[in-house]
Structure formats: C-alpha cells, structure tokens
Amino acid sequence: GQQLNQSPQSMFIQEGEDVSMNCTSSSIFNTWLWYKQDPGEGPVLLIALYKAGELTSNGRLTAQFGITRKDSFLNISASIPSDVGIYFCAGHLSSSNTGKLIFGQGTTLQVKP
C-alpha cells in the first residue's frame, strides 16, 4: 500500500533556530498537506500544496511540493516555544475521487527557550 516516510522522527532545537522536515513517498500525489498537532488536540492544517514545484509560505512556515510529486518539505524559520508539537505530512490522490489522505508518522518538535 501507499506509505509516506517522514523525517526526522523528532527534533530538539534551541529557540530561534530554523527547522526543516521532509516527507517522501513511493507514490505520486496530487496534493501535499502539512498539519500540526498540539498536545491533547486534533491536527490542524498549516499548508496545502496543489502543484508540483509549488512553494507556499504561511508566516514563518514555508512548504514545497516536490517536482517529482513524490516528496515535500516544511521549513520553520526562527522557531519559538509555541512551535512545539507534532507535524504531519499527508498526501492526497485526487484521481481516487475521494478525500482519503495518507499520513506520515509525524515529526515531534521540541523547542528549548
């Protein structure tokens, strides 16, 4: 079946540092999405990417849809303590005519003040 490999599994960084995480797949996706999950909450959509090569920013977050359509990365610049949480990538295959997403295993981010 389809799988997403997300790395790194976890990161422990100093406040102010930049962060980078990525996701790769053996399958092609039409949409890549990045979610963040705070402790005790459900995942919240951060960024959605719809075109190969697309680079999208949302504040200090930047994400790119890989040109091969099999990968995506998320960068966080100048990290702050509230960036703590689990970040998930997810791929969507629109040709499946469903809303079904495939999720990565998540990257746990801890930020030291």
Partner 1 sequence: DAGVIQSPRHEVTEMGQEVTLRCKPISGHNSLFWYRQTMMRGLELLIYFNNNVPIDDSGMPEDRFSAKMPNASFSTLKIQPSEPRDSAVYFCASSPGLTGELFFGEGSRLTVL
Question: What is the bridge-based pairing of β-strands 10-14 and 107-112?
Answer: parallel
Among 31, 56, 62, 75, binds partner 1 (CB under 8 A): 31
Q: How far is the CB of 54 from partner 1 (least distance, A)?
A: 14
Q: Of 70, 71, 60, 66, whose CA–CA distance to 36 is shortest? A: 60
Radius of gyration, alpha carbons of the chain:
14
Among 39, 40, 59, 113, binds partner 1 (CB under 8 A): 40
Q: How far is the CB of 42 from partner 1 (least distance, A)?
A: 3
How far apart (Å, rounded) are the C-alpha atoms in residues 15 and 81? 7
Residue ranges binding partner 1 (CB under 8 A)? 31, 33, 40-45, 48, 88, 90-92, 94, 97-101, 103-106
